Structure 1
Amino acid sequence: MAEREYNTAMGGNASQGLDPAALLAVVVVAGVGAALAIAALRRRAKVPKWMGLKRYRKRLDVIRRDLDRMAEYVGELRDSQPAVSQPAERGLAAMAVCNWGEAIEHLQEARRLAGKAHLVPLLVQIGVCHYMQGNLSAAVAEFGESARLAEEEGDKLGRCAALANVGVIHHEYGELGSAFTHLSEALTIAGEFDNQRVVALCLGGIGNIQHDKAELDAALKSHEDALAVSLSIGDEPGIAGARGNAASVLRDKGELDQALEMYAEAVETARKSGDNFGYTIELGSIGGVYLDKGDLDRSLKFHEDSLAGASRIGFRLGEATELGNVGLVLEKRGAHGQAVSKLAEASAILLSAGVSRGQIQVLLGLSRCDDKLGRSRIEELLQQGGLSADGAAELLDRVDQIRRRRPYPRPRA
């Protein structure tokens, strides 16, 4: 079996613990096709690079997480000797129910006896598990070694998956040029072998990089292309992801109602297909739109649901994103004491993972809590939340550094 559907690693029932009625109440879908909506917006005038100071500031009020999906690859693992295939199968089964630590143990057992050809898919799958756990340095090391071995073995599809995943991690690190290069190379290989799922995955990743560079028209085109590919092969997780990523671009174009409609379509598609990963991320995105609209109650509900979903599937970066967003909404509601613990926990995860996305927003949120509560009180709250005195001092030093650059004036004494 040369390819395994990548959404199966997310496993389980996407709607578990969440309220479908609340989701259906988000928006009445108007019946305009997603492709037509995207095409119409592409014809509009380009948005200036930083979308104006006011909209740029909105980016600092919420942590945006577009859907970057890992490319899984099993190659010929199932045809390997039983000493390799049996623990590998146990590892894949553990991945399917999001038991990432258990999956790593089984896959490492298979790794010890595997030859080079079977090491390629094993390393890809181990890297995916590390990524879900938020251990990006370990993940990128596994993907890099897999890509090297794949080149030696002439396994182009294995190299394609490894390169795509390196691109996703470089995107998390904020290294946009390197991320684009890796995803573009993976896209070329996937196209040569007509691996349409990975073609769509790479197009989506490239679109997210273009979005981060404020190249909104190019990003929308990439997501439109990813959507067309996913529709052509009936890949529902891919369809959901492309719609959600396109909605994020519409949101930055100021088309909040249209973005909300498209996010709702993405969430419903992910729910029906059992795609927990996409479902969780798009719930958080809906929360971000409601924050933009000033509806803090709805925003908090969707971010809390997204946080619960990320915890269920063990997606550590998703947990950090939504801990941060819950904290940011609580801060806006004036619940500064509650916000501090959420923001501090998010900061710890993001710092440990070494990712760029979200750290500035979290520190700015903490700086505003510091303004309201005072230094002594915030130190007390941080230590009550489990930080040592030195850890609290280090975090507040980072807060002071970001305060000097923040666009929000400090209240007068």
Structure 2
Amino acid sequence: MRLCAGGRVLAVGEPRQQAVLAVLLLEAGRTVGVDALVDRVWGEATPKQVRRSLQAHLTRVRRVLDQAEPGGAALVRDAGGYRLDVRADQVDLFRFRDLQRGGSADRAALRAALDLWHGEPLAGLRGDWAERTRHALGQERTACVVAWADAEIRAGDAAVTITRLTELADEHPLQESTAATLMRALYAVGRAADALARYERVRRALREELGADPGPELAAVHQAVLRNDLPSRAVTSAPAQLPADVTAFTGRGEELAELDRVTARVGREPVVVCLTGTAGAGKTATAVHWGHRVRDRFPDGQLHVDLRGYDPDQPVAPTDALASFLTALLPGGAEIPLGPTERAARFRTEVSGRRMLIVLDNAATVDQVRPLLPGTTSCAVVVTSRDSLAGLVALHGAHRVPVDRLPGATAVALLRRLVGSRVDDDPESAAALADRCVRLPLALRLAAELAASRPASPLSRLVDELRADQRTLDLLNGGGDRRAAVRTVFSWSLRHLGAEAVRAFSALGRHPAPVFDAHVLAALTDRPLDESRAVLDVLVRAHLVQRAGVDRYGMHDLLRAYAAETGGGDDEHAALDRVHRYYLATAAAAMDLLYPGEAHRRPTVLPAASPVPEFTGPDDARDWLDAELATVEVLAAHAVATGAPEHAISLSALLFRFLDGYAEALALKIHEHARVAARNTGDRAAEATALTALGGVHLQASRAEVAAADTWAAFELFTEIGDVGGQARALGNVGLLEERSGHHGAAVRHYTGALAGYRRVHDVTGCAHALTRLGTIEARLGLEDAARSHLRQALELHGRAGHRFGEAWVKIGLGELATAGERLADAVGLHAEAAALFALCGHRDSEAWAVDGLGRTEAMRGRPCDAAAHHRQALDLFRGYGDRDGEAWSLNGLGEALHACGSTAAARASHAEALTVATRIGSHEQVARAHLGLARTTADDTARPHYDRAFAIYTELGLTASRQVRAELAGLAR
């Protein structure tokens, strides 16, 4: 107990005196009888003069209270007892209870309630009453901790709860609600194995201490962890894609109020608002400013896309915008459909019921917008466009909000915020300057920057200069054109920049992609990197470019169009060629760091004619590729459209391995650009290479028919031109298709053919890849000697080439071989090494195969809970990358582990899901494995059909499966 007053802590006195005050505090506002006071303070050890002792303690308590703040607590003598008059906000316990009641799901309120606790309640007080009260208060605190933790877990912040929950669970090992919440928190942060271990700990404690089993809540959480279906695990951060708010946003009160009024209908009817108006009027700024102001109304997030509808080269297609949205909405960008209709349907499914704001910026036509509309009343859509979008209003009930030039007073107010007191010193010139800028926010901001950069010049002089330039452009443009006025401001801005900055601005208008950095500018202008960085700083200060991230920049589309107008000339082709060479050389350098063993397979590129980044290691290289991949796709498309097909072909061939199992939508587009470029130029070798890459992407996504068509088409082209190495690559992919379908005999034949081809052309890495797959298949078929020989050869070849990625796959094969030979400790080590190597390479999908192998090995070691945790981790990774084949493997593995744990119903559900996935993708081996799992977890009368189906498939595929499965199936066959 502590008594605080005026920043001081007052001594309450010895324990009996504290007990008296404690009883009165806990009954604050109510009279406590003398007998009740005596009983609670002394209990059965009542002294002879107890009433005299009580009176002495009450006197001392009154003196202590008198030392506290005036008007604070007062001890009052009532008929029959004593009453402590004190405000609820003066007692931490009452504040705690108020916060807990008022914020039952409010994280901040519950956190504030817990912050009021300092140590053990009634510490140092003895007796039955003190012990009972201490226990009751402890239960209140526990309930608050659990409620707070649940709120944090629901909000996606489970990590902050684990320390406090662990301490509480260790302190009270039999408290099931705490253990259940801790398990949910551990599961939510990816520590499912620790959650299961916590359950076992509590289960044992309950059995040893009480002879009881866990109650329904704890048992349900345990089953949910085993089934991988705890809701807490689905909690993800809501997308927050709105760009930064505009500095010194001014005016637009009517437009903002109209947005508020129309979007108040969200939840009752579809809401689409079109902000329409001329270029530079501030449509985007208005939409973004309003979005930030009302973001709390859209707790499920905000989506934003710049459709670049007025970009003459690269407007964003609706299917690409949908891919961007789905990447944000789906875990890891998984399962993004290929077709535009399917993507639009999936998008509508994902946003259904979510309260989201969707901003479609710079739309050119209704057709560009229509596929991006959600089919739900829970979202608000804000579209900005220079077009009136009449079809959107007529057919979709959109509400149009015109965004015109600013009123005169508002335009001057914006200048005042940007320029300062000079506007009030010369209001007439300020008004004239606003008129010269046609009262468009974009032009006003540029003019204000120039005025601010010339503090000694009166505004009147700036207005005169602009008026002279205006007359010149009016003559050139026919007069009366608002765009001419804006061009005047642009040209005026440029005129006051140095020659290098003007040259840089013009060059950036020719860059095909909307985002760039100093390296790109250096390539465009053929200038040193330091100069390019300095020039970009100048352009940022002049508001001619804006920051779009760390060391990355963008440009308003109107400014970009004007920059393109001011550029041109004989060196335009050379400038773009330098940009392509920069990206090719940098991508090649990044790939050499990440995949040195495959350097011979990648095309040779010319050195860059401009500065390139210096990568310190693989992580830097991977970060650069991650950041630049979208720009690479734009450059590839631009290369095809502008007669530079060799650049598109080289980008695809360079990035093949990086794109394998990564960024499916972008990978398909980059490889498709290469295929089109190759076909347009009659380059059959390049077309075959692009088809091989496309087949690989489809294979990874378990689209077997499409993958087979592309791969065989590539094989035929390679055969026509006599490219043996290309034929071998195609055959290897066909082998992988057969392996994934479960036809291991056919896979072995194709891998053997690929190996022969690679040996003919002395492709060491190719030989290593073929040997790896051969050995892994042979391990599964029980051909241990052949498997061991092939895998050892593969490991030696990959090591010679420095190909860590290949080495990791060999270790998975060796792990399979060790598992088949029941050398389980070796198998665990090999799979763990493979997982670590894949993580180092950044290949999380491949890492999932190693983790799944760990799960199978742990199951054979008799550790089903550990196995379940590994399979669950692999399942998350496979789903994140859209690998349906891996998903079927891990679901079956999880079902087998759950069955071994005694969770029959959960195991059956996992196998049933595996059967659905495997049937859909044609993975026959996993179909058989799922039937076998269902047979094991199903009642006797329905198990036999599953056994029969599994036996038939295993026999048809020529698979021997494991020793246990062989015995099981053989017994049933007899």
Check whether TM > 0.5.
yes
1:338 aligned onto 2:338: no
Alpha-carbon distance in structure 2 between the residues aligned to 1:177 and 1:77: 37
Alpha-carbon distance in structure 1 between the residues aligned to 2:661 and 2:733: 21
Which stretch shows the higher mean deviation, 330-339 or 76-85? 76-85
Which stretch shows the higher mean deviation, 178-187 or 398-407? 398-407
Alpha-carbon distance in structure 2 between the residues aligned to 1:87 and 1:346: 39
Residue of structure 2 in register with 1:300 after alignment = 868
1:366 aligned onto 2:366: no
Q: Which has the higher helix share?
A: 1
Alpha-carbon distance in structure 2 between the residues aligned to 1:298 and 1:324: 15
Alpha-carbon distance in structure 2 between the residues aligned to 1:273 and 1:159: 27
Alpha-carbon distance in structure 2 between the residues aligned to 1:355 and 1:256: 27
Residue of structure 2 in register with 1:170 after alignment = 738
1:348 aligned onto 2:916: yes
Alpha-carbon distance in structure 1 between the residues aligned to 2:810 and 2:951: 38
The alpha carbon displacement at 1:109 in A equals 4.5
Alpha-carbon distance in structure 2 between the residues aligned to 1:97 and 1:170: 18
Give me the CA root mean square deviation.
3.4
Alpha-carbon distance in structure 2 between the residues aligned to 1:367 and 1:117: 50
The alpha carbon displacement at 1:279 in A equals 1.7
Residue of structure 1 in register with 2:639 after alignment = 82
**Aligned AA for 1:209?**
I
The alpha carbon displacement at 1:184 in A equals 1.7
The verdict on how the C-alpha distance between 1:118 and 1:202 changes in structure 2, with shifts beyond 3 A counting, is same
Alpha-carbon distance in structure 2 between the residues aligned to 1:222 and 1:267: 21
**Aligned AA for 1:269?**
L
Q: 1:268 aligns to what SS in structure 2?
A: helix
The alpha carbon displacement at 1:274 in A equals 2.3
Structure 1 or 2, whichever has the larger Rg, is 2
Alpha-carbon distance in structure 1 between the residues aligned to 2:795 and 2:865: 32
| 2:928–2:950 CA contact under 8 A, matched in 1 | no
The verdict on how the C-alpha distance between 1:358 and 1:191 changes in structure 2, with shifts beyond 3 A counting, is same
Residue of structure 2 in register with 1:65 after alignment = none
| 1:123–1:143 CA contact under 8 A, matched in 2 | yes
The alpha carbon displacement at 1:264 in A equals 2.1
1:154 aligned onto 2:727: no
1:226 aligned onto 2:794: yes
Alpha-carbon distance in structure 2 between the residues aligned to 1:85 and 1:188: 31
Alpha-carbon distance in structure 2 between the residues aligned to 1:307 and 1:363: 19
Residue of structure 1 in register with 2:886 after alignment = 318
The alpha carbon displacement at 1:239 in A equals 1.2
| 1:74–1:125 CA contact under 8 A, matched in 2 | no
**Aligned AA for 1:82?**
A
The alpha carbon displacement at 1:212 in A equals 3.1
Which stretch shows the higher mean deviation, 283-292 or 192-201? 192-201
1:243 aligned onto 2:807: no
| 2:652–2:690 CA contact under 8 A, matched in 1 | no
| 1:237–1:278 CA contact under 8 A, matched in 2 | no
1:196 aligned onto 2:760: no
The verdict on how the C-alpha distance between 1:162 and 1:317 changes in structure 2, with shifts beyond 3 A counting, is same
The alpha carbon displacement at 1:304 in A equals 0.9
The alpha carbon displacement at 1:188 in A equals 1.9
Number of residue pairs matched by the alignment: 324
**Aligned AA for 2:792?**
E
Alignment of structure 1 residues 56-67 onto 2, 5 Å? none
The verdict on how the C-alpha distance between 1:77 and 1:311 changes in structure 2, with shifts beyond 3 A counting, is farther
**Aligned AA for 2:707?**
A
Gaps of 5+ in 1: 1-16, 23-70, 376-395
The alpha carbon displacement at 1:237 in A equals 1.1
The verdict on how the C-alpha distance between 1:262 and 1:403 changes in structure 2, with shifts beyond 3 A counting, is closer
The verdict on how the C-alpha distance between 1:105 and 1:78 changes in structure 2, with shifts beyond 3 A counting, is farther
The verdict on how the C-alpha distance between 1:97 and 1:18 changes in structure 2, with shifts beyond 3 A counting, is farther
Cα deviation digits, residues 81-134 of structure 1 (max 9, x gap)? 931556664795893671224432443354345232221011111111111111
One of 662, 671, 686 as aligned partner of 1:98: 662
Residue of structure 2 in register with 1:280 after alignment = 848
The verdict on how the C-alpha distance between 1:181 and 1:404 changes in structure 2, with shifts beyond 3 A counting, is closer
The alpha carbon displacement at 1:159 in A equals 1.4
Alpha-carbon distance in structure 1 between the residues aligned to 2:710 and 2:945: 31
Alignment of structure 1 residues 370-409 onto 2, 5 Å? 370-371=938-939, 399=946, 401-402=948-949, 407=968
Alignment of structure 1 residues 100-139 onto 2, 5 Å? 100-113=664-677, 114=679, 115=682, 116-139=684-707
Residue of structure 2 in register with 1:382 after alignment = none
Cα deviation digits, residues 42-85 of structure 1 (max 9, x gap)? xxxxxxxxxxxxxxxxxxxxxxxxxxxxx999876989993155
**Aligned AA for 1:337?**
A
One of 814, 826, 834 as aligned partner of 1:266: 834
One of 890, 897, 904 as aligned partner of 1:329: 897
**Aligned AA for 1:103?**
A
What is the TM-score normalised by the length of structure 1?
A: 0.69
**Aligned AA for 1:293?**
R
Alpha-carbon distance in structure 2 between the residues aligned to 1:359 and 1:136: 16
Alpha-carbon distance in structure 1 between the residues aligned to 2:923 and 2:661: 26
Alpha-carbon distance in structure 1 between the residues aligned to 2:728 and 2:949: 39
The verdict on how the C-alpha distance between 1:142 and 1:160 changes in structure 2, with shifts beyond 3 A counting, is same
Alpha-carbon distance in structure 1 between the residues aligned to 2:749 and 2:891: 31
The alpha carbon displacement at 1:329 in A equals 1.5
**Aligned AA for 2:928?**
I
**Aligned AA for 2:949?**
I
Q: 1:308 aligns to what SS in structure 2?
A: helix
Cα deviation digits, residues 201-257 of structure 1 (max 9, x gap)? 100111123223311111011111101111111111111111221121111111111
Alpha-carbon distance in structure 1 between the residues aligned to 2:748 and 2:951: 32
The alpha carbon displacement at 1:283 in A equals 0.8
Q: 1:370 aligns to what SS in structure 2?
A: coil
The alpha carbon displacement at 1:308 in A equals 1.4
| 1:73–1:161 CA contact under 8 A, matched in 2 | no
The alpha carbon displacement at 1:313 in A equals 2.4
The verdict on how the C-alpha distance between 1:280 and 1:72 changes in structure 2, with shifts beyond 3 A counting, is farther
The alpha carbon displacement at 1:278 in A equals 3.1
**Aligned AA for 2:856?**
G
Alpha-carbon distance in structure 1 between the residues aligned to 2:921 and 2:787: 26
Alpha-carbon distance in structure 1 between the residues aligned to 2:697 and 2:944: 33
| 2:779–2:817 CA contact under 8 A, matched in 1 | yes
The alpha carbon displacement at 1:268 in A equals 2.1
Q: Which has the higher strand share?
A: 2
Alignment of structure 1 residues 39-58 onto 2, 5 Å? none
Alignment of structure 1 residues 252-263 onto 2, 5 Å? 252-263=820-831
Alpha-carbon distance in structure 1 between the residues aligned to 2:769 and 2:947: 39
**Aligned AA for 1:133?**
A
Alpha-carbon distance in structure 2 between the residues aligned to 1:156 and 1:117: 11
Alpha-carbon distance in structure 2 between the residues aligned to 1:118 and 1:272: 31
Percent identical across equivalent pairs? 21
The verdict on how the C-alpha distance between 1:101 and 1:399 changes in structure 2, with shifts beyond 3 A counting, is farther
| 2:776–2:816 CA contact under 8 A, matched in 1 | no
Residue of structure 1 in register with 2:65 after alignment = none
Alpha-carbon distance in structure 2 between the residues aligned to 1:301 and 1:402: 29
The alpha carbon displacement at 1:186 in A equals 1.4
